[in-house]
Homo-oligomer: A and B are copies of this chain.
Amino acid sequence: MDRKITLAHGDGGELAHKLIQQIFVSAFGNTRESHFDASFLSLDSGQIAVTTDSFVVKPLFFPGGDIGKIAVSGTVNDLAVAGAVPLYLTAGFIIEEGFLLADLRQIVQSLADEARAAGVRVVAGDTKVVEKGSVDGVYINTAGIGIARSGKTVDPKTIESGDVVITSGTIGDHGIAILAARGELGLVTDLKSDCAPLNRMIDAVMDAAIAVKMMRDPTRGGVATTLVEIAEDFKVTIQLQEQALPIRREVVGACDILGFDPLYLANEGKVLMIVPKAEEERTLAILRRFPEGANAATIGEVTDTENGKLLLETPLGSRRRLHRLSGMMLPRIC
């Protein structure tokens, strides 16, 4: 087999056939079940959840993950935070001519491994090859299909004053890990991306019948942008406690040097939950049972249900309003 991807690997002919057989079929452990470009799947439930995301993360390999891993966790998490149970993924690869087959193999294997770990099946795929310079290495799109959870679902309309806002762990890890991996800013750190599928941890919370009122994964735009969206969509005021935010020492340090605010950095393995005050401790206890929830913490509360805004209270008691991310340049973070 060749060492590098050529345009002929993408033309639908003999080499494309071999590429699929040798890299994709083996990684996903499928024998070819369908003779069509579509897979047929049986579902127990009549209600499905659907999402899609493209991944253009740079660099392709970074501490804590790679583009294959993030392509699974990003899409699985979008389904899980919507209150659905992720079941199936599709994966579309756009590959640059000259890309190393060994790297492609590693990325595909990583995607397959992560899907297996998350309990989802990759049921359809596609590869396109474009000329050198027409894509930066490889981009992956995944679409995810899940089933709606029967019984208890997330219901943001029930958010009320006194509800607490919980993060499943430290914030900003992914953003700083990616920046450091790019090597552009002279940042040296042991920090790893938090990139991980959260569906099993979220399952545990939902299965415990916690009345989760809203969940979101704070990816692009970070915790602040995600909470501003929730605040505006449901006309609630959320007040964060600055000293309650769990932030790794390395992230604080990097933000000090670079002038970034950790509240706006992307996370790829965190969930924000709004739950009743009465269920705060039980929720934290369940989250902390999982490695990805070890640093779960309450970071704020809902203080008003008539105005849609996000406030940050400092240790000295002053409050300032936070807005959506605006003009902060961290392209290709996922």
Please state if A40 and B48 are interface contacts (CB–CB under 8 Å): yes
Please report the C-alpha to C-alpha distance between residue A51 and residue B126 in the assembled complex, in whole angstroms.
9
Q: Which residues of B contact A233 (CB under 8 A)?
A: 35
* Contact in complex: B327, A40 (CB < 8 Å): no
Tell me whether B42 and A131 are in contact (CB under 8 A): no
Q: A49-B38, A84-B38 are in contact. Are A143 and B331 (CB under 8 A)?
A: no
Docked-complex contact B332 and A50, CB < 8 angstroms = no
Binary per-residue interface labels of chain A (41-78) against chain B in the complex, 1 for a CB within 8 Å, 0 otherwise: 11110111111111110000000000000000000001
Contacts of A51 in B (CB 8 A): 36-39, 90, 124
| A38 and B78 contact, CB distance less than 8 A | yes
Instruction: Enumerate chain B residues within 8 angstroms of A146, measured Cβ to Cβ.
Output: 38
Residue A185 lies at the interface, judged by CB distance under 8 Å to chain B: no
Binding-face segment, A110-118, A217-225, A279-287: A217-225
The chain B residue with its CB closest to the CB of A234 is B35
Chain A 117-151: CB-based contact to B (< 8 A → 1; otherwise 0): 00000011110111101111001010111101000
Binds B, one of A13-21, A241-249, A289-297, A299-307: A13-21
Set of chain B residues within 8 Å of A15, measured between Cβ atoms: 326-327
Shortest Cβ-Cβ A-B pairs, 5 listed: A12-B220, A13-B325, A143-B143, A12-B221, A141-B141
Q: List 17 A-B contacts (CB under 8 A).
A: A11-B220, A11-B329, A12-B219, A13-B325, A14-B323, A14-B325, A15-B327, A38-B84, A41-B47, A41-B50, A46-B46, A48-B48, A48-B145, A51-B90, A54-B141, A139-B139, A145-B145
